[in-house]
């Protein structure tokens, strides 16, 4: 049996929403149903699939008010909820535009004169997506859209911490029967996620390293591909030559946007010692100006901490740092306001790698700043991490920044800005170390990883001898 799950509101702290996970047997039936429907979805062809997605987009535009409201209640924030919907809608257009070229296939010449090669790709029938609470809509659809265009059916289990958006999203989906038959969202927590993996042909997971390991194990046991996008502890390196005003603005935003609740948040900052003081003064000045979005949601830049667990982790990291000698220059603690958990942008100095705040994912608006004396030291500190998601380098000229970037063991590096992958999805990148496993979520690979390649090898000469006869002589 499965129990209802109470959902907490991040602004009020009240448990004001309930989700009801499907019993495992029902989930299996759901999966079977959409897996069967996938055959028609694939046969529909790319044009038909694009049409269905565009219809969905129109339905979302019509139901936008309800979706926005649900996302606001899920996350306690306003402008990012609006942005999530915008980004989601534009990702539909982006993929619909890219897919025709990516799915084009043609006969190829081969080096062997009597064999001709035709390549084709076929979708994995049923893709599972398990997504986190920090960008509930975006991260539940980032893999879903390309998988749908590839011709897969998709079943999504969003996080139980921010599930309110599912109901209005399903309403929009119900207006597009072709899509509704092969795409569904299920409510539930870890147990439902685990059951989902048992019923799909490929799993995409975005979330913590800890759960990522369990997903990898389950996928191996089920002998299905797993694409894992896990945590990060993204560093920023600021060289002496950096444009300081730009660096402090970009790093501040890269660290506190969405209250730091992003896998590609800047979570540690290494600054050349010659500009260290100037840097953190400027950073503190700018950080200090930012306001909480409280008591009204319309004001301020910093929303509530969505997950109560995460609030405890942020506090733990801060206390650990201070107990080991770190100095807090602004912000500095998680506080309760009106039932929600809040944290002002926090700048720390006197930090080192014995502190959790420099080594573990904090997922809050926390900016520990550390000085380095040589570029080698900066690179060594940067790579001294179990994570390898992304990074930022600030330096002039760009060539110097690129030289440093080459030495960093992460998948994406922003030069003279932070988290550019958040708006630029063309660059293929793989996660390093514990930050992930499997194909690139960005660039052309993002769509292609949902398909298997088939090769047709055709004997084209007219002799009755198989190739082996000529080869063996």
Residues 6+ apart with CB under 8 A from 455: 117, 118, 119
Q: Could you say whether residue 397 binds a second copy (CB under 8 A)?
A: no
Told to judge if 263 belongs to the known catalytic residues of this protein, a careful annotator would answer: yes
Q: For residues 165-194, which are near a second copy according to CB under 8 A?
A: none
Q: Which is nearer to a second copy, 5 or 422 (CB)?
A: 422
Catalytic residue among 31, 204, 263, 330: 263
**Among 43, 101, 106, 464, contact with a second copy (rule: CB under 8 A):** 464
Q: For residues 39-68, which are near a second copy according to CB under 8 A?
A: none
Q: Could you say whether residue 289 binds a second copy (CB under 8 A)?
A: no
Q: Determine the interface stretch with a second copy among 56-64, 169-177, 272-280, 457-465 (rule: CB under 8 A).
A: 457-465
Cis peptide leading into 52, omega within 30 of 0? no
**Among 76, 329, 429, 446, contact with a second copy (rule: CB under 8 A):** 429
Q: Which is nearer to a second copy, 98 or 173 (CB)?
A: 98
The residues pairing with 119 across neighbouring beta strands, listed in sequence order, are: 455
- Single out the residue of 328, 331, 386 nearest to residue 353, CA to CA: 386
Q: Which is nearer to a second copy, 319 or 416 (CB)?
A: 416
The residues pairing with 117 across neighbouring beta strands, listed in sequence order, are: 108, 457
Told to judge if 361 belongs to the known catalytic residues of this protein, a careful annotator would answer: no
Shortest Cβ distance from residue 453 to a second copy (Å)? 4
Q: For residues 203-232, which are near a second copy according to CB under 8 A?
A: 213, 216-217, 219-221, 223-226
Q: Which is nearer to a second copy, 333 or 433 (CB)?
A: 433
**Among 437, 446, 447, 450, contact with a second copy (rule: CB under 8 A):** 437
Q: Could you say whether residue 438 binds a second copy (CB under 8 A)?
A: yes
Q: For residues 87-146, which are near a second copy according to CB under 8 A?
A: 94, 108, 110-112, 115, 117-120
Q: Which is nearer to a second copy, 150 or 420 (CB)?
A: 420
**Among 6, 308, 376, 465, contact with a second copy (rule: CB under 8 A):** 465
Q: Could you say whether residue 457 binds a second copy (CB under 8 A)?
A: yes
């Amino acid at each position: 049996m499965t129990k209802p799950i109470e959902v907490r509101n991040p602004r009020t702290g009240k448990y004001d929403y309930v989700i009801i996970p499907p019993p495992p047997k029902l989930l299996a039936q759901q999966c079977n149903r959409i897996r069967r429907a996938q055959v028609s979805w694939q046969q529909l062809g790319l044009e038909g699939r694009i049409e269905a997605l565009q219809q969905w987009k129109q339905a979302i535009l019509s139901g936008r008010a309800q979706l926005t409201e649900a996302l606001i209640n899920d996350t306690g924030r306003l402008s990012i909820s609006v942005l999530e919907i915008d980004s989601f809608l534009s990702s539909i257009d982006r993929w619909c535009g890219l897919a025709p070229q990516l799915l084009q296939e043609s006969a190829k010449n081969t080096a062997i004169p009597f064999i001709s090669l035709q390549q084709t790709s076929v979708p994995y029938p049923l893709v599972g997506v398990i997504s986190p609470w920090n960008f509930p809509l975006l991260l539940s659809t980032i893999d879903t859209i390309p998988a749908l265009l590839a011709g897969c059916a998709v079943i999504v289990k969003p996080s139980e911490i921010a599930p309110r958006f599912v109901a209005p999203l399903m309403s929009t989906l119900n207006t597009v029967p072709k899509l509704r038959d092969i795409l569904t969202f299920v409510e539930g927590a870890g147990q439902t996620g685990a059951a989902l993996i048992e019923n799909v042909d490929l799993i995409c997971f975005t979330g913590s390293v800890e759960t990522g390991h369990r997903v990898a194990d389950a996928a191996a046991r089920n002998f299905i591909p797993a694409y894992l996008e896990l945590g990060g502890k993204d560093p920023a390196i600021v060289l002496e030559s950096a444009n300081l005003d730009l660096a402090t603005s970009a790093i501040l935003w890269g660290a506190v946007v969405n209250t730091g609740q992003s896998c590609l948040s800047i979570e540690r900052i290494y600054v050349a010692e010659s500009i260290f003081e100037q840097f953190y003064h400027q950073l503190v000045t700018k950080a200090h100006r930012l306001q909480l979005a409280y008591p009204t949601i319309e004001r301020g830049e910093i929303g509530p901490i969505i997950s109560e667990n995460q609030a405890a982790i942020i506090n733990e990291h801060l206390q650990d740092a201070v107990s080991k000698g770190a100095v807090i220059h602004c912000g500095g603690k998680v506080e309760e306001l009106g039932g929600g958990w809040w944290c002002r942008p926090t700048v720390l100095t006197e930090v080192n790698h014995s502190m959790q705040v420099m080594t573990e994912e904090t997922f809050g608006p926390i900016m520990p700043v550390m000085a380095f004396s040589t570029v080698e030291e900066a690179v060594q500190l940067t790579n001294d991490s179990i994570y390898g998601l992304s990074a930022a380098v600030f330096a002039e000229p760009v060539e110097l920044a690129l030289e440093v970037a080459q030495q960093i063991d992460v998948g994406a590096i922003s030069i003279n800005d932070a988290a550019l992958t958040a708006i630029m999805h063309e660059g293929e990148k793989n996660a390093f170390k514990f930050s992930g496993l499997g194909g690139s979520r960005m660039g052309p690979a993002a769509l292609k990883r949902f398909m298997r390649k088939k090769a047709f090898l055709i004997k084209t000469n007219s002799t009755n001898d198989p190739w082996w006869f000529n080869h063996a002589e």
